[in-house]
Amino acid sequence: MRETWGWLLVLVALCSGGVQAGPGEADAAFERQFGDAFLDRYWRENPEAGIASGYYRYAADLLVPDAAYRAHYLRYLDGALADLAQVDPSALSEARRADWALLKNRLESERWGLSTFKQWQWDPSLYNVAEPIALLLNTPYAPEPQRLRTVMTRLAKVPAFYAAAKAAISQPTREHTQLAIQQSAGVLDVLGKGLEVQLAGSGLSAAERTEFWLRLRAARAAAQSYIAWLKALDARLALDGSARSFRIGETLYEQKFAYDIQSGSTGKQLYERALAEKERLHARMSVLADQLWPKYFPDTAAPADRVEKIGKLIAKLSEQHTTREDFIAEAQRQVPMLEAWVRDHDLLTLDASRPLQVRETPLYQRGFSIASVNAPGPYDPTANTYYNVSPLDDYTPEQAESFLREYNRWQFQILNIHEAVPGHYVQLVYANKSPSKIKALFGNGAMVEGWAVYSEKMMLESGWGGFEPEIELIHSKWLLRVVSNTIIDYGIQVLNWPEQRVLDLIRNEAFQSETEARGKWRRATLSQVQLTSYFAGYSAIYDYRERLKRELGPRFDLKRFHERFLSFGSAPVAVIESLMRPQDAAKP
């Protein structure tokens, strides 16, 4: 992966002719053209993404996603790419050359998405006004009356927004239609009673409150109409069989993989590596199972079949878990313990001014994953960072028990490491401090997810869990999930694997529960490539660290490696490798 990026930069240099300015002069020119003014224009064209990044200048603008907007945005992308093509990247410093490549990938990816992938056509869940409004209401970037006026301006365009959504959708998948129905109920929650109470107690004038209420009522009606329309659409799709398949096929998959993962490898190559890693993990887990078997089954001989042996032992360990009532409270209890461990073992410097708040996942975000992090962007790094954990209220007793066995005593710790500390939360805090806004803003999903997976292994290497074989076995099971994510994503989207084959692999070879298996099948029908980002990023980070350890020997400093690695924002791992020097990870 590292070599691929190196050859890309060499190729760029060879293909660039003409007189070259010195790196300092060229960097300054690049910054003038693609610095704050460029980003301001980008957020004007993408106000929702701007809000998520903490850039509120255009927060009042709700763009109507109609054909005119799509044509306008394509023209904008073409113009930005033409401007970027005028830059000779070989004249730039290495750091700015990486920014150039990241920006080029981002703009080309968006253009491909609009003109080729066309998710706007077949995924009704894209059309949801809830999250930007919720962020504006809950983020104290400005006095409350100002934020409410911003929301009021956005509300005025909600009816046109959903009208454009209905016009854009053509031959959707049933899976995305049903997700849209579920998540659109969260829109009504954001626009519900809580907002009425906030409005009534606000500093807005009586006339403003009246106007706000009128727009709120119209927005609710538009959201309700969209939900009713979606339900009718889903019923029709069920009857006439006209729904599009959620499988995107090999050509689109490999194109999306190249844009999203940015590793230099192909989806097929990663799939083949994942198959080999699954075999390695099974072999190690068999050794651990032999160690643990007499402790948990003292009077029973271990099965000869290793998969059966591992599965039975995991099932036994999974009996130890929290309750559905204490699920969120347990996450709240563990996060401070993880923070203390990271500090005490000198793994990373944590920013005490950026506390993590554990909360129930908002309704409009539910239905995709059980836990996630909402972090502010680099423009508003002091805004709240939330660790969202979904309650199990809607689960039957049987579903809840299956879920809790999956997230048992050991695996729940690994989940909290991954999502919170020192995983996503810590990485995103560091990303917001990166001197390069491009690297922080246009983050690479494989690096982000890969760091979270790497952080699990790093914590266990430092002694979290007491080096017990139980936690290593369960962590190996978790890594099997990371590996199987890649296998099933490629299998479903490219190889047309049926549901039963996927469920069998998840349950019988990755040792996951029934609830987790069915949830993963659902997730894999709603996304493409994203599930591969965990293994792609983790393997690249771990491989890079091990190379540096071999090169530096006793001079290798783990904390310096972590902090220098994270200082480059959420750039692809290959880019970070090209920017770091071995001495950056050496003891001073």
* 327 located within any domain: no
Whether residue 170 sits in one domain with residue 293: no
User: Number of helices (H) and strands (E), helices first, in the chain?
Assistant: 28, 3
Whether residue 207 sits in one domain with residue 111: no
Residue 367 has pLDDT above 90, yes or no: no
pLDDT, tens only, 506-518 = 999 999 888 889 9
* pLDDT given at position 16: 37
Q: Would you say 172 and 124 are in contact if contact means Cβ atoms under 8 Å apart?
A: yes
Query: pLDDT band for position 23 (50/70/90)?
Result: low
Domain end call among 176, 210, 240: 240
Domain end call among 74, 102, 117: 117
Query: pLDDT band for position 19 (50/70/90)?
Result: very low
* 72 located within any domain: yes
* 294 located within any domain: yes
* pLDDT given at position 245: 98
* 409 closest CA partner among 357, 453, 466: 466
Sole residue written with tokens 């805004």: 383
Query: pLDDT band for position 8 (50/70/90)?
Result: very low
* pLDDT given at position 22: 53
Counting residues of the chain whose pLDDT is more than 90, the rounded percentage is 87
Residues pairing with 386 in the sheet:
357, 374
Whether residue 112 sits in one domain with residue 135: no
Tell me how many degrees the CA angle 499-500-505 measures, rounded to the nearest 5: 100
* 110 located within any domain: yes
Q: How would you class 32 by CB atoms within 10 Å of its CB: exposed for 0-12, middle for 13-18, buried for 19 or more?
A: exposed
Q: Which domain holds residue 209?
A: 124-240
Omega before 422 within 30 of 0, i.e. cis: yes
* pLDDT given at position 443: 87
pLDDT, tens only, 384-432 = 889 999 999 889 999 999 999 999 999 999 999 999 999 999 999 999 8
* 480 located within any domain: yes
Residue 107 has pLDDT above 60, yes or no: yes
* pLDDT given at position 12: 38
* 328 located within any domain: no
- 385-389 and 356-360 strand pairing: parallel
Whether residue 105 sits in one domain with residue 188: no
Whether residue 152 sits in one domain with residue 217: yes
* pLDDT given at position 380: 79
Whether residue 524 sits in one domain with residue 487: yes
Whether residue 170 sits in one domain with residue 311: no
Q: Which residue has the higher pLDDT, 244 or 372?
A: 244
**Cα end-to-end distance, the chain, whole Å:** 28
H-state helical runs in 360-494: 397-406, 411-419, 424-432, 437-441, 445-461, 469-493
**Which residues contact residue 578 at a Cβ distance below 8 angstroms, ignoring those fewer than 6 apart?**
2, 5, 6, 9, 94, 98
Whether residue 187 sits in one domain with residue 40: no
* 115 closest CA partner among 78, 64, 162, 167: 78
* pLDDT given at position 285: 98
Residue 17 has pLDDT above 70, yes or no: no
Whether residue 194 sits in one domain with residue 103: no
Taking each helix axis from N to C terminus, what angle separates 94-112 and 23-34, rounded to the nearest 10 degrees? 30
* 388 located within any domain: no
Whether residue 226 sits in one domain with residue 152: yes
pLDDT, tens only, 155-192 = 999 999 999 999 999 999 999 999 999 999 999 999 99
Residue 193 has pLDDT above 70, yes or no: yes
Instruction: Domain count for the chain, please give it.
Output: 3
Query: pLDDT band for position 297 (50/70/90)?
Result: very high
* 35 located within any domain: yes
Task: Compute CA 13 distance to the chain's CA centroid, rounded to the nearest angstrom.
Answer: 33
Whether residue 133 sits in one domain with residue 110: no
Domain end call among 211, 240, 269: 240
Residue 377 has pLDDT above 90, yes or no: no
* pLDDT given at position 359: 93
Query: pLDDT band for position 499 (50/70/90)?
Result: very high
Backbone angles phi, psi at 558, to 5 degrees: -65, -45
The mean of the pLDDT values for the chain is: 93
Mean pLDDT along residues 303-324: 96
* pLDDT given at position 18: 35
Mean pLDDT along residues 235-245: 96
Q: Would you say 59 and 134 are in contact if contact means Cβ atoms under 8 Å apart?
A: no
Whether residue 555 sits in one domain with residue 460: yes
pLDDT, tens only, 257-276 = 999 999 989 999 999 999 99
Asked whether the whole model's pTM tops 0.95, one would answer: no
* pLDDT given at position 383: 78
How many Cβ atoms from other residues are within 10 Å of residue 106's Cβ?
A: 19
Taking each helix axis from N to C terminus, what angle separates 174-190 and 206-240, rounded to the nearest 10 degrees? 160
Mean pLDDT along residues 28-41: 96
